[in-house]
Amino acid sequence: MQFQLFLLSLILLAGASGPPEYGAWEPITALTDEFNSNLLDNTKWHDHNPTWQGRQPALFLPENVSVKDGILCLEAKVETVPDAPEGYHSFTTASVKAKSLVRYGYFEIRAKVMGAGVCNAFWFYDATPDMWTEIDVFEIGGGVKGKEKIDHTNVHVFHTPEYKGTVKDHISDSIVWQSPTNLADDFHVYALEWNNEEIKWYVDGEIICTRKNEYWHQPLYLVFDAETMPDWFGLPDPKDLPAAFQIDYVRSWKRTE
């Protein structure tokens, strides 16, 4: 407990907006990282997604994940990997996935999305035979023409014991928020508050949307990634690459009640 209070004091002194003032909170150390080392902390994170190779045609590569100057970088490149799996060509991107599950809390990152036609995402999910749900804190195409200011928030339910959906026919709800400036121009603080009753999304300390939590009670993995989205954002312009999704920190808290 003393270590948790010490960590909380360091986080607050560092200038984080932090969790809401109501209630009592304590840090989730397994999902808190200032990225001040020169290496990704492999006790907390995978430098890839162990169950997914990436959204075609871009292949996730661990080599595209780095930590330098206090920033976690997920790069997208024009690159075809020899002997890549079928369907993966032309581009490589990156994914970082937490090694621990979490259910409920307040999760905050300070990040700058890349100015390229690649979807930069901060999201939570898990897929088991019994449950497959997802919460997307944001999906942003910072270099996609007409979408430079758009923050897409989403929730998905593919299947639960009560709901029998499919990948093509599932519960999906998206809310679009528009920034006054291009999101790739600067760092912003993005956050999610998730509890048994509701889910709230924040940008720079302001709530941008709220919804009732009907389905999202499954422990989930926290994920950062960069994906090509050919059917949604189109493919990136090679002249805009390489580019990096930059994350200054991730800080997570849970209620102590």
Q: What pLDDT is attached to residue 10? A: 45
Among candidates 95, 99, 100, 145, which has minimal Cα distance to 120?
A: 95
Per-residue pLDDT of the chain (257 residues; tens, 9 = 90+): 554 444 444 444 444 579 999 889 999 999 999 999 999 999 999 999 999 999 999 999 999 999 999 999 999 999 999 999 999 999 999 999 999 999 999 999 999 999 999 999 999 999 999 999 999 999 999 999 999 999 999 999 999 998 887 777 898 999 999 999 999 999 999 999 999 999 999 999 999 999 999 999 999 999 999 999 999 999 999 999 999 999 999 999 999 97
CA distances from 163 to 100, 101, 135, 196, 223 (A): 25, 22, 17, 18, 24
The pLDDT, as a whole number, for residue 164 is 85
Number of folded domains that form the chain: 1
- Round to whole Å and give the CA distance between 21 and 35: 26
**pTM for the complete prediction?**
0.92
Note the pLDDT of residue 22: 86
CATH number at residue 18: 2.60.120.200
- Could you tell me which residues come within 8 angstroms of residue 185 by beta carbon, excluding any fewer than 6 positions away? 115
CA distance 70 to 208: 28
- The pLDDT value given to residue 186: 98
Between vectors from CA 35 to CA 34 and to CA 37, what angle results, nearest 5°?
125
Token digits of residue 178: 């528009």
Rounded distance, CA 228 to CA 76, Å? 9
Residue 59 to residues 39, 78, 90, 91, 121, Cα–Cα distance (Å): 22, 11, 9, 7, 16
Pick from 47, 78, 69, 71: nearest CA to 60: 47
Look at phi and psi of residue 216 and say left if phi exceeds 0, alpha if psi is from -120 to 50, else beta. Answer: beta
User: Could you read off the pLDDT of 174-187 as tens digits, one per residue?
Assistant: 999 999 999 999 99
Structural contact between residues 114 and 244, judged by C-beta atoms closer than 8 angstroms: yes
In Å, the largest CA–CA distance within the chain is 53
Domain that holds residue 106: 2-255
